[in-house]
Chains A and B, each alone.
Chain A
Amino acid sequence: MLARIIAEVFRAERARVLATVIRVCHGDFETAEEAVQEAFEAALARWPIEGAPAEPRGWLIAVARNKVIDSIRRRVKLRELVAANETDEVADAPELAVADDRLRLMFTCCHPALALDAQVALTLRTLAGLTTVEIARAFLTTPEATAQRLVRAKQKISGARIPYEVPDPTELPDRLGAVMAVVYLVFNEGYAATAGDAWIRRDLCREAIRLARILVELTDAAEPRGLLALMLLHDARRDARIDAQGEIVLLEDQDRTRWDRGAIDEALALIPLALRAPGPYGIQASIAALHAQAPSADATDWPQIVALFDELYRRQPTPIVALNRGAAIAMARGPTAGLGVIEPLRSELAEYHLFHAARADLLRRLGRTDDAVRAYKSALACCTLEPERRFLARRLVTLGATG
């Protein structure tokens, strides 16, 4: 019984405890991870006898910190670190320091000097507490390759001395952008209807949302609020976007009563804060919010969505944003207007199945069946995701053609 409670404390508190202990070790991840592991083992041995402490987190940090100092004392060449430890840190108000430490840990894990896949693996391992096997499964790689990636990243952090601190204000916007990019990548990896274990994918989304909550809690910036709202709004539709047979259900056909209202309400409350200084995440969240508030696809405020896509395209003039803007224009002003925006993107998006699928859908609505069939076939030819392939094949069947 108590062992289960300790396991729960471990899951809930590991990242916070680890974040503080890494600071105590001046950025030495390996020593910190060992010390935290030993502290939890000590809890398993002592709490059943002594009773659980009133402040489990504080207890774990104190024990792990002592383990670190013991281990540093054993290593003569690191003597100076002990001296530094004895003079600072002790007087910190524990709660405040822990909060800051999680933010430090995020910035260090997502430092631009680390490769992006290493940033993602390190964030999932240290902040989300996923195991090496779980990370490997989520990213379709081997546990050995993931372990190797983590070891290399930790060696670089201590070897090259990547700082364990929140960046100064001049660098903060860029660095925050890097952290948000990793969080959103984790979310999308969990949200994409590709291969992989469904359970671990759901866990990735949950962890990404949890990490975004930390950013919101610990920074004043608008964009983390936009990011959190955006992910909550996508995640609210999770159950409605796949039917009982595992097939994709388009936004316009989803049963909106199955959307998670609690998540939507939380996101809607964040939108005004995100729009104090609107960036790409805040604008995308606003678009998702308009969908979330509409009773049906037809009753959606499409002109407002087009205006938001105009704004997004001004900041991120990519062909993918242009494609989505074109789809919104089709809904607001009709398929012909949408096609006018989408057609010029052909040279850039010829290999992208959603370009052909969006075009096919507009041709279908215009009654240009032969053109639509050809476009669906082009989409099928460059699509590798099984659920999406089945969706495109079904569309071809409804048009009287075969894939």
Chain B
Amino acid sequence: MNGRLPPWLLVVLLVLLYLLHNDIWFWSDARIVAGLPVGMVYHIVYCFAATGMMALLVKHAWPSHVDDDEESDG
């Protein structure tokens, strides 16, 4: 274990996040949460989750051959 998440787990997380985008459970829910409609709050939180997902990809799945290119050309 080198501290990196396995690729399959990152794929699962990415697919899960994609599926969670279609929040049919809030479709007809007009409740106000934190001052805004819950359907909008959900998608604002979703943007933060996307940031988290990107941080995981950058940390654990960075395409190393791209860095190799940089070193060999530099």
Do chains A and B stick together as partners? no
